[in-house]
Amino acid sequence: MNSALNLVNVSLEYPDGGSTLKALDGVDMAVKQGEFLSLVGPSGSGKSSLLAVAATLINPTAGLVVIDGQDVSALKEAERTELRRDKVGIIFQQPNLLPALTAVEQLLIREHLRGNAVKEARRTAEDLLDVVGLTAAMLKRPHQLSGGQRQRVNIARALMGSPTVLLVDEPTAALDHERSESIVRLLRRVTDEFRTATVMVTHDTEFLPLTDAVAAMRDGRISRASVPSAQTS
């Protein structure tokens, strides 16, 4: 297993009245460093469940989740939290930025909470905001940023811990076409630059050619499909 993220025969069941609902049904998925995988499928097919399991936020009912060679199921709760913090970057649809903080401060919350020295981290944060094209907006607060800029802060924040795995849930859902495309192009670039294993849930099929591979979900099962046309990064 030389993939950064490996799901092996993963199933996830939710209680559903007297019976159970199988949100994931024997899912196998492997994503290498520097690979950008898009995950598509109809509503209710299991995409968010898969991201939550890959993010170690939910334990699968069966199967293995392996991140950077570590079998997550073998870890205690505290170790799993640590692994998530060190190896997994999560980008949700809504940036969830704190209204009172500037862009650069959004990236430093964790350091503040952990009582770490912020000076070094601040340099990293500024570099990352530069990578996502927000050099001029570092001291702005969320209400002074556009939706696309807020999503860029969200992406930079997810990269703060140098994650191995980057999990992205519909990053363009709240954006217009032009901004959506630039966000997916940015995710392509950071995947290349930071060598993350990136999984992006998306409904925007037109951006699939910017990714390396497409996985399609249906009724909790997954299949790899080919990318619609040549890669254009």
Ligand X SMILES: Nc1ncnc2c1ncn2[C@@H]1O[C@H](COP(=O)(O)OP(=O)(O)OP(=O)(O)O)[C@@H](O)[C@H]1O
**C-beta of 48: minimal distance to ligand X in Å?**
3
Q: Which residues contact ligand X by CB under 6 A? A: 14, 21, 23, 41, 43-49
Q: Are 175 and 209 in contact (CB under 8 A)?
A: no
- Cβ closest to ligand X, residue 44 vs residue 209: 44
- Cβ closest to ligand X, residue 41 vs residue 171: 41
- Cβ closest to ligand X, residue 137 vs residue 217: 217
Query: What span, in angstroms and rounded, lies between the C-alpha atoms of 156 and 145?
Result: 14
- Cβ closest to ligand X, residue 21 vs residue 139: 21
- Cβ closest to ligand X, residue 101 vs residue 174: 174
**Spatial CA neighbour of 216 closest among 83, 68, 43, 39:** 39
Cα 216 vs. chain centroid, distance in angstroms? Answer: 17
- Cβ closest to ligand X, residue 17 vs residue 99: 17
Query: What span, in angstroms and rounded, lies between the C-alpha atoms of 188 and 52?
Result: 21
**C-beta of 203: minimal distance to ligand X in Å?**
8
